[in-house]
Structure 1
């Protein structure tokens, strides 16, 4: 460990330090809170399945919802670190403050730059490292784009990123990457169902769609309508 693990107060300070406006903070920080919430719900489901693995029906799955409403999922190979997922979820999108076209300071509605947006994970990773945050936390920003952005995809799509793999390196990062797909920062912000994100994933090819559906099978489905009601957002 070469850096520090931020507290909740320090996480908020990291957001506020880089946020160009209150509107930008409200949009990005709320999304991060939602992703952290979904991620922690999934972790609790995973850990419950792991704990009860000897009593589950054949196949290792249960259709009974968790107290948080997560349905399905497979027994994980180990217990997951809920605190790590919470911190990672709260910081995973901190780089999006750097990719606004209109950031709330010019009198225009918030709008992201389409060309720069793909770089937000790497930008967030570098920002966190520059602020002294440990590599293990900064990686949540770097490794959450799509359903796993590979070197091959970066090269094939001629993306404005150094050719490399930007994919989760542990289960906790994968949970945050997965949870992220259920909420969008588009204006107005909205929640996505499994089917809605499946349609998005399919735009990038059959393999991308298959990877997404494998994640759904692996981690289960959160209660999106309940979350949308809690955060007063629409569902698509």
Structure 2
């Protein structure tokens, strides 16, 4: 580790430095804060399961990975239900920092930044580049590779080289997928909230419908991630932030 591991205050300062308008800061920074909150909740759940693994029955859904709606051997943690025992304890501190920075590149793919009083809009054809833009931006700021990768590796449910080529995406052919559990949980958390204008929360089922537009395999990959990480209490989050909910 040779680069900067930022503090929360440094991350907020970077958001303010890059935001071209108050509207852009409010939308993008708030989204990152929400994803950090969901990330913390999902990790708390999985770490609780890890600590309880020795006391769980062998056929408990948290051990087997088999879905058992409404029946959880371990009570909900921070509103998260379901999930399976992880192979190791997750680093919540690093993952939260990564979540606060994962969308830092979206400031550079705005079509209208809101400074003219009109609604914010993103440059649709180039939006998929925001992860790689954010990665390069963070490295140029001196941030450590381990932190910069959160920006690079969170798109969709794991953007592979094959998908980049098949879809003709404006990215260098490569794998843009999480390389550890902390990056994966940020990728998962990111699917529960959208920076649409106005912003909105999505349930796991709502994102499954969205994922299906890219094929049934994409949808099934998402549902496997939901079974692995459990489901946050999205309705409660929508109420907390006074945002609409798509279910």
TM-score band (shorter)? over 0.9
Q: 1:105 aligns to what? A: 115
**How large is the RMSD of aligned CA atoms in angstroms?**
1.0
SS of 1:75 mapped into structure 2 = coil
For residues 4 and 11 of structure 1, do their structure 2 counterparts lie closer, same or farther at Cα, with a shift above 3 Å needed?
A: same
Unaligned runs of 5+ in 1: none
Structure 1 moving runs of 4+ over 6 Å:
none
* C-alpha displacement of 1:104: 1.5
Q: 2:167 aligns to what? A: 157
Q: 2:46 aligns to what? A: 46
Which residues in structure 2 correspond to 1:131-210 (within 5 Å)? 131-210=141-220
* C-alpha displacement of 1:109: 1.2
Unaligned runs of 5+ in 2: 63-70
Which residues in structure 2 correspond to 1:17-96 (within 5 Å)? 17-57=17-57, 58-61=59-62, 63=72, 64-96=74-106
1:116 correspondence with 2:132: no
TM-score by length of 2: 0.93
* C-alpha displacement of 1:32: 0.2
CA distance in 2, matches of 1:59, 1:144: 30
- What is the total number of aligned residue pairs between the two structures? 236
* C-alpha displacement of 1:85: 1.1
CA distance in 1, matches of 2:221, 2:75: 23
* C-alpha displacement of 1:60: 4.9
